[in-house]
Amino acid sequence: MLNYIIKRLGMLIIILFASSLIIFGIMKAAPGDPATILLGENATEQSIIEVNEKYGLDKPLYVQYTKMMYNFFNGELKSIYYKDNVINIVLKRLPATIELGIFAIFLAVLISVPVGIISAVKRNSIFDYFSMGVALFGVSIPVFFTGILLMYLFSVKFGLLPASGYNGHIWTVQGFKHFILPGISLSLVLMSSTTRLTRSAMLDVIHQDYMRTAKAKGVNKFKIIFIHGLRNAMIPIITNIGNQIASIFAGAVLTETVFSWPGVGRLAVDAVFRRDEPLVFGAVIMLTGIYVIVNLLVDIIYVFIDPQISYD
């Protein structure tokens, strides 16, 4: 296990390096000059030259990339717009994104796993057809459209929930109200895909010999389904949840923009429009690192769920 973890951490370095090259290339290929955008349309040529010299934007690309990487890992990379350390800026916004992401994952798992199990047990029933229809709809609809639709219905039309903004942590009453709409919007794709996968995995398990044996021995039906069945169906479910964490962070960019959520996603979007290259670079690298580490933790969880799995 230890060798496997070391190998995965080595891959993390390669992935971060590749991601940094891609994001740097995209930023440089984008139209517009960061100095001109920062100073405005009325900026003089001399002031643009001074800004380019100040931030090293007049240097060759390989020099800019090397300096950006060195400053990032040294903790000295500074935002052009905020004039502050990139890591500090991202860390200030990260808790809001993590809170929203955890709430969305919790909401998705809380609803999707029981619904998927019931759909498998009551296969071809009205509940099964209805839940699978809703799940298909949830997978198909874009995150930003879900957010706009929820905002219109529950904020504009009925005035039940706040339309946007962040008003404290989730454990406060006002804070929780602000989490509901973006949380549902962000969790819908994960909720739908996990519902479908749980149903499929449970259908495979239900027809196994050990399930029939337990039933023949008179074991309680609840125990058969949740102890014998669900545990053996958890591997593909956890795999899907782990893979969908990337979608949670990707969807956070759209969700945070729609709901004016002060997280890393909205920060990255604002940085792109401002051509704040160091901030975009730092935000993407940090989110990539979080995604890879979470996937590593998911792989480690496999061993505790199914002892037959070994990475040695």
- Alpha-carbon distance of 309 to 312, in angstroms, equals 9
| pLDDT by 10s per residue, the chain, length 312 | 677 777 777 887 888 888 889 988 888 887 777 777 777 777 777 887 887 787 787 888 888 889 888 888 888 888 888 888 988 998 998 888 888 888 988 898 899 989 988 898 888 899 999 999 989 888 888 888 888 888 888 888 888 888 888 887 888 888 888 888 998 988 888 888 889 888 888 888 877 777 777 777 777 777 777 777 777 777 778 777 777 776 677 667 888 888 888 888 888 888 888 888 888 888 888 888 887 787 777 777 766 666 666 555
Domain membership of residue 88 (yes or no) is no
- The SS3 call for residue 225 is helix
Listing DSSP states for 53-115 in one string gives HHTTTTS-HHHHHHHHHHHHHHT--B-TTT-SBHHHHHHHHHHHHHHHHHHHHHHHHHHHHHH
Kindly state whether residues 280 and 247 are assigned to the same domain: no
Kindly state whether residues 102 and 243 are assigned to the same domain: yes
In one-letter notation, the amino acid at residue 234 is M
In one-letter notation, the amino acid at residue 10 is G
What is the length of the chain? 312
Kindly state whether residues 107 and 223 are assigned to the same domain: yes
Kindly state whether residues 218 and 144 are assigned to the same domain: yes
The total number of structural domains in the chain stands at 2
Kindly state whether residues 97 and 216 are assigned to the same domain: yes
Kindly state whether residues 205 and 249 are assigned to the same domain: yes
Residue with tokens 């809170």: 99
Question: Containing domain of residue 165, as a range?
Answer: 93-265
Kindly state whether residues 227 and 312 are assigned to the same domain: no
Domain membership of residue 47 (yes or no) is yes
- Alpha-carbon distance of 143 to 247, in angstroms, equals 10
How far is residue 246 CA from its own chain's centroid? 4
For residues 71, 282, 100, 93, the Cα torsion angle rounded to the nearest 10 degrees is: 60
What CATH number is given to the structural domain containing 185? Answer: 1.10.3720.10
- Alpha-carbon distance of 73 to 290, in angstroms, equals 15
Kindly state whether residues 118 and 232 are assigned to the same domain: yes
Domain membership of residue 291 (yes or no) is yes
Kindly state whether residues 232 and 286 are assigned to the same domain: no
Kindly state whether residues 140 and 185 are assigned to the same domain: yes
Kindly state whether residues 257 and 289 are assigned to the same domain: no
